[in-house]
Structure 1
Amino acid sequence: MAKKKYTIQNNPFIVPTTDGKIIKEHFGHASNGDSNLSLAHMIAPAGWSEPFQTPEFDEFTFIIKGKKQFIIEDDVIVLEAGQSIKIEKNTRVQYSNPFTEPCEYLAICTPAFSIDLANREA
């Protein structure tokens, strides 16, 4: 029998969080051991934020619903549903949702997201 050349992901890895953010990794380190790319569906609650970080991966974000704020070096950028952004690796960034509605989005990282590669500030 020939090996299938596709993978259907019905059970994404639910990343445990303490900040109310929902992270469902469909492909990546945690879900299938892939170190080349990660794909995650996320929902950031209203008022959510992360510390600044300087990731060692490129990150692509596509906003499905709501708004998300990015502070990229000295620029403050707000994306809304239907917009996307690529942030190059080794760029200092902070992600947040200072708005009143949750933000639903997709994040793709190359190489795959790893907390060890995020370089979050204390």
Structure 2
Amino acid sequence: MKKYFIQNTPFIVPTTDGKLIEEHHGKASTDNNDISIAHMVAPPNWSEPFQTPDFEEYTYIIKGKKQFIIEDDIIILEAGQSIKIERNTRVQYSNPFDESCEYIAICKPAFSIENVNRED
């Protein structure tokens, strides 16, 4: 048995908002509940509802900019910057800018729709 796994076919999460989500490791792609790693591209003027996830999330910006509203703080990250957001923290992710934002997101434990706790 090999002690490694190379992911060549990430799970493409279906979206209706133009965002590309390629889960390389996680519940949907490799049945891993401990961690999820996804490559994402958020289109210009994209946003999600506020959420209070039951996981910690790390984000690394590859290209463009991404806005985070974390409780009462507005933070804008640019390419080459990263952030860790603790679990049970109210946050909204968005790209209110005129260019796409490409980034990597890592969630621990793994992302699931049941533990993201999005607001309506």
Structure 1 consecutive aligned stretches of length 4 or more whose deviation exceeds 6 Å: none
Is 1:37 the counterpart of 2:29? The answer is no
Deviations 1:53-105 (A, max 9, x none): 00000000000000000000000000000000000000000000000000000
Counterpart in the other structure of 2:49: 51
Q: Percent identity?
A: 73
The one-letter amino acid of 2:81's match is Q
Query: Partners in 2 of 1:52 and 1:5 — Cα distance?
Result: 39
When the two chains are superposed, the root-mean-square deviation of aligned CA atoms in Å is 0.2
**TM-score, normalising length from structure 1?**
0.98
Q: Does 1:85 align with 2:83?
A: yes
Q: Provide structure 1 residue ranges, at least 5 long, that are not aligned to the other structure.
A: none
Q: Take 1:62 and 1:115, find their aligned partners in 2: how far apart are those partners?
A: 21
Structure 2 unaligned blocks of 5 or more: none
Pick the aligned partner of 2:62 from 61, 64, 89: 64
Matched length = 120
Please state how far the C-alpha of 1:31 moved relative to its aligned partner.
0.1
